[in-house]
Amino acid sequence: MQPDDLNRIAKQIRLRDLQAVFEAGAGHIGGEMSSIDVLTALYFRVLRIWPDQPKHPERDRFVLSKGHVALAFYVTLAKRGFFPEDEISTFLKPLSRLNGHPNCNKVPGVETNTGPLGHGLPVAVGMAKAAKIRGAGYHTYVMTGDGEMQEGSNWEAISSAAQFGLNNLTLIIDHNRFQQGAALKDTNNLAPFGSKLASFGWDVTEINGNDMSEIVPALEKRTAAPHCIVAHTNKGQGISFMQDTVDWHHKVPNAEQYKIAVAELSETL
């Protein structure tokens, strides 16, 4: 798919995500909106996957380490054909398999359970190392939040990936500059990330993480070392009153706000 096609799908995913948050009365909409462009590029262009065979041994692996944005992941998986799109309406309802964090035992396409921050990257390092040991050809991708990079387990994993020469591993940092309750710069600001990852021996690419023309080539890039993509994104991307506002980490729009957001996301669809 070309960037225009991917942008159209990303808008559709954003709109369905918004509707589901409003209907459920819960979600992490700010970080969902910032990550959707990368998720769209992965699932509709980059990943080698078979939705009808979610455990195909040759599939590429994707780990959503920032598991609190599970809804954006669910909408993407459903739209790609891993399960029926109408199941999104069950998000957070009793007995639904679409919980607030992804569960690999219940949801097709989910590689590992995530939610406790700092766990996804270490697991992805293990997946990439396993591929090296077995001589498998799959590539492993993992997305973390920028606030999540404050977890020490991530830096142990970063060191290990370089030591093991895991050039079959791509880390995407969703650098939207906000975490729960505060801006990144007002908490434990580890930015800039690029120079730090490079000092560990990683190849680093910095992009506009809401621009498909930059996202796609970065995701498709292959390097001699583990690859980190620092994706500079906007919290609440695509919805004017949410963008770059810490309140929208997990705030739910009221009826008037919902109407405005639907109108904005529906433009050019």
Supply φ then ψ for residue 169, to 5 degrees: -130, 130
Q: Which SS3 state, helix, strand or coil, does residue 182 take?
A: strand
The CATH number of whichever domain residue 155 belongs to comes to: 3.40.50.970
The β-bridge partners of 205 are: 229
Predicted TM-score of the model (pTM): 0.97
| Residue 143, beta-bridge partner list | 64, 172
Which comes out higher in pLDDT, residue 171 or 250? 171
Looking at residue 149, its pLDDT comes to: 97
pLDDT at residue number 181: 83
Of 77-86, 153-162, 225-234, 236-245, the least confident = 236-245
Task: Name the residue range of residue 81's domain.
Answer: 3-266
pLDDT tens digit sequence for 27-45: 999 999 999 999 999 999 9
Mean pLDDT calculated for residue range 225-246:
95
By CB atoms closer than 10 A (0-12, 13-18, 19+), residue 49 is buried
Interval 193-207: pLDDT, tens = 999 999 999 999 999
Convert the pLDDT of each residue in 45-56 to its tens digit.
999 999 999 999
Q: How many domains does the chain have?
A: 1
Over range 117-144, report the average pLDDT.
98
- Which residues is 227 bridged to in the sheet? 170, 203
pLDDT at 28: 96
Q: Token pair for residue 7?
A: 């942008």
The per-residue pLDDT for 268 is 67
